[in-house]
Structure 1
């Protein structure tokens, strides 16, 4: 063993030890490994940061941004409501939820897919009389399985493709992973739904219920093309009964009706006064195509003439122009005692023209105001849902003494923008699938179009990227290159082949798969793929067999981190909400990993023969 080989093995050993210890973040550990390699002379100083320009790193960043666009526009929320049956039983409900999670994870960041579907999973658990963890863990594992189905489904797939290209074999295509990935995802989901979920320990959620703002009073305008036109009020409530929303008033022809009869039919131009939890408002907006915005002037009350005059010049106001040019956000604000807006209405404050904000909903404990939303005199303790530019909201808070509530993801679905975001993602995937452009370029083009179309506002482009993952990948790619350059990868490959696999290619394939699985459970899966790809290539070269079989084994193993909460971010996400302990994961994870090894090895030999 040469000095350089001893140095790289020492650095890698220390890196894995720090990953296992968990005292430092993964990106910090990876950066320390890179710096150690540079200082030791294993990575040239001029190439230390070449990993940041690696196609796999660029592609991961771009996919994260495009995934944010799907979240921003409510595209995934709409898909979830459309695909998940409301009254399904345990088997059908869990199958639909896991299937949707796996399908989404194939084409967007699987952590994002998990985060979007977690509230749905908790609601499903409550309806099925299960503990939250009994649905959350299957969903987490389903989204992880779905990530292995496409090139962009998970960072390890992109890393494996990058190492294949560096070996002179070209990149894997978008759906090269599908024959094995889809098969494993389907088998894994069926196993979990049929029997595996019973292995999940029943725990009480460690997370609280979160803050409860109570029901908001909101005014929803019914445009001509809304599906609500012609429905009775009772029928409208029946369609969204799961959300707990109810109609408490109706404004028609400038006349407000309190507690209108349920048999009254909704007309275009009506304003529905709805009492609902803030998270339920999105469902009503999406299902019926109604609007949570200020209605046209002719639909307003007659006593709002002054405000209409203000609104007529709104486009000339700095606040309005600012709102048009900046990122629009939704914020929940609490009116504190002594606030300057107590006793004043949105019209009195000229909320739109002075601040560039819309008051969308109001929550008041005890009783619901009888006046129109824009004319309600605010009281201390009221909760307001406002819409406007981020800077405008901040200015309003500073001026009035209101306080923002804890961060909540409040998305108002926009079908047109959701369609645009979906088209951008599908367009980028199509370009890669047909080989028109490399993946990194195609998805970077998609990001550019998203910025222009504002499905992802320019300011949010950089916050959408999971920078610790990017730094981790970019730092470990040169370290993995040092493994190849020093011959350490070939040496490790010979040890695995000669001593453990004893020269048998199939046994060597199993060793690579199981080793990758084990390391993925105790250290980041992207880091595992970066470290083991050179080893896999070395083994295939030593045995004189197809390197694709071994690279695919690394991709599968890196996507199968089911034994611990630290192996994958989705496992970590459910730790608190599911009330899990560190040792709870292996009960379902171990049988699932054994199943994957048993099925995937024969599949590898058929699809990617040695």
Structure 2
């Protein structure tokens, strides 16, 4: 039996890979911790030497991903992305033209800027855009998101997955140019655009966003005043029983015009304190039973009113957020972020249960009330996929945006026309962003997604182990057996498997795991490896059918009011069409022989 030919180290590697796949799919442990643990097991067990296990951290592709975060920070902080979006989008006139302009703008932008910030910027613009045009945001956000994913396939720097595959390829003595992926990227963008503007347009649901579901935040708000000289004066929040209400949640206290958001339970009450509760409005009777509290007659501090201290914020929880998998109370959300949760939306619907008992999940959209500094502090935090201030979403325009755009143009031109190494060009561009004050040093440091870098670098260890132990060769041989030794059918199997991994895991992990298998299959068949390389690259980004298939899918999940099946219904045909296009174009551009 072929399986018996695997050595002990191959069996250890197989066990580690399976364990990593299961843990990543379960989403119970952060992907960085899972992959770091897998790398550690391979190192301690002797499967890999230290240089092999840690080789991903020295890979040029991984380092380029890290440096490009600084370049994107410059584009983001100067408002260059918003400026381009506002220029291209203009005033919407009808659903078809709105979708067309969004698809063209988002796919073009994401070819040169990482798709995550593009989706973040365009989501806010699209929400305002759809409101102005009277269109459902669910008809626009998913097409924009899919176009952004596909547009990222057109250049080497369009998405981190492309750079990761290039980094793996360089270890084989080959490399990709800036526009090498364009030969397959442009066809899939065109096919995707035609689909979204025809059949996909009819499959898109018409739903309200998470914010529209909470049509008036004040209808979930109860405002009470502590009576002067009443029995609650001098007592703490806890002693007054304001922490044990069944259907109401104390979110803030207003004292002498000052708003206090995160109120500790031991905080002492004073006469005249204004208390704001959110939850089930019918539970007002619970507050009326508390002696010393009276309904507020002065309504000037309602949540819907703009002032200098408070605003409404929409935030989408990420898979790696520390609050994921915990109730709002357990996560101590107010203390952690100094913001109060007004409502939670999931699967296109507002969750009606008591706020403190809601277990938060990745993709949940929170309607928050907090200070105006919240959006600034957490807009690019890894805890949230999207943070948008609802009453001030106008895209900023800054004087240094032309500098940032010129730096980006220089990066593209230098790597394309002057054959400058992508990493070198990215380092120069990042330095220019800081020197020309497109972003400051603090913003540059915070821009780097260190967790993603750890995920990618540790994934390399699994790929190296699969190559070294012969596991990749064995898996490739098994795939060839199913494909009857035919190169095209083997390519189909490799592509489909990569897409499945992408939908269940992370796109970069799927690329790193499937790359050695694709290379081994090409070697056994004695054919050109480039078709397999390109199919792994495209397949690792073709996560359209689940909200977790690609990070940006989650970013539009709540704002669009989408449900899980929307991704299956709309993304399924798109995935099929992209697969057919890829498997048709790739062998023509990069022949097997």
2:543 and 2:549 in contact (8 A); partners too: yes
Deviates more, 1:104-113 or 1:43-52: 43-52
Alignment match of 1:523 (pick from 488, 502, 505): 505
Alignment match of 1:560 (pick from 520, 538, 542): 542
Alignment coverage as a number of residue pairs: 441
Alignment match of 1:383 (pick from 304, 308, 313): 308
Report the counterpart of residue 589 of structure 1 in structure 2.
571
Whole-angstrom distance in 2 between the partners of 1:483 and 1:404: 49
**Cα RMSD between the aligned structures?**
2.9
Structure 1's unaligned 5+ residue stretches are 215-333, 342-364, 367-379, 386-396
CA-CA distance at 1:63 after TM superposition:
1.7
Alignment match of 1:424 (pick from 407, 424, 443): 407
Listed one character per residue, the Cα deviations across residues 235-259 of structure 1 (whole Å, up to 9, x for unaligned) are xxxxxxxxxxxxxxxxxxxxxxxxx
Report the counterpart of residue 306 of structure 1 in structure 2.
none
1:493 and 1:535 in contact (8 A); partners too: yes
Matched, 1:151 2:69: no
Alignment match of 2:433 (pick from 438, 450, 466): 450
Matched, 1:185 2:189: yes
CA gap of 1:40–1:601, structure 2 versus 1, over 3 A, is same
Name the larger-Rg structure. Answer: 1
Q: TM-score, normalised by structure 1?
A: 0.68
Listed one character per residue, the Cα deviations across residues 167-204 of structure 1 (whole Å, up to 9, x for unaligned) are 122x1000000011011112101210222032123333
Report the counterpart of residue 195 of structure 1 in structure 2.
199
CA-CA distance at 1:594 after TM superposition:
1.0
Structure 2's unaligned 5+ residue stretches are 1-5, 219-251, 260-298, 311-337, 339-369, 376-387
Whole-angstrom distance in 2 between the partners of 1:550 and 1:47: 24
- The 5 A counterparts of 1:298-377 are 337-338=255-256
Report the counterpart of residue 131 of structure 2 in structure 1.
126
- The alignment partner of 1:152 has SS state of coil
CA-CA distance at 1:555 after TM superposition:
0.7
Whole-angstrom distance in 2 between the partners of 1:42 and 1:131: 54
CA gap of 1:416–1:210, structure 2 versus 1, over 3 A, is farther
Matched, 1:101 2:106: yes
Listed one character per residue, the Cα deviations across residues 127-176 of structure 1 (whole Å, up to 9, x for unaligned) are 4544322211111111111111110111121121122211122x100000
Whole-angstrom distance in 2 between the partners of 1:384 and 1:492: 59
Report the counterpart of residue 463 of structure 2 in structure 1.
480
Report the counterpart of residue 224 of structure 1 in structure 2.
none
Whole-angstrom distance in 1 between the partners of 2:554 and 2:48: 33
Report the counterpart of residue 72 of structure 2 in structure 1.
67
Whole-angstrom distance in 2 between the partners of 1:45 and 1:578: 46
CA-CA distance at 1:381 after TM superposition:
8.5
1:526 and 1:558 in contact (8 A); partners too: yes
2:309 and 2:372 in contact (8 A); partners too: no
Alignment match of 1:141 (pick from 130, 143, 146): 146
Matched, 1:542 2:460: no
CA gap of 1:381–1:63, structure 2 versus 1, over 3 A, is closer
Matched, 1:174 2:178: yes
Whole-angstrom distance in 2 between the partners of 1:575 and 1:503: 41
Deviates more, 1:523-532 or 1:69-78: 69-78
- The alignment partner of 1:167 has SS state of coil
2:88 and 2:105 in contact (8 A); partners too: yes
CA-CA distance at 1:484 after TM superposition:
0.8
CA gap of 1:129–1:339, structure 2 versus 1, over 3 A, is closer
- The alignment partner of 1:29 has SS state of helix
CA-CA distance at 1:581 after TM superposition:
2.5
- The alignment partner of 1:539 has SS state of helix
Whole-angstrom distance in 2 between the partners of 1:112 and 1:504: 41
- The alignment partner of 1:383 has SS state of coil
- The alignment partner of 2:140 has SS state of helix
Give 1 or 2: higher helix fraction: 1
Q: TM-score, normalised by structure 2?
A: 0.70
Matched, 1:48 2:53: yes
CA-CA distance at 1:57 after TM superposition:
1.1
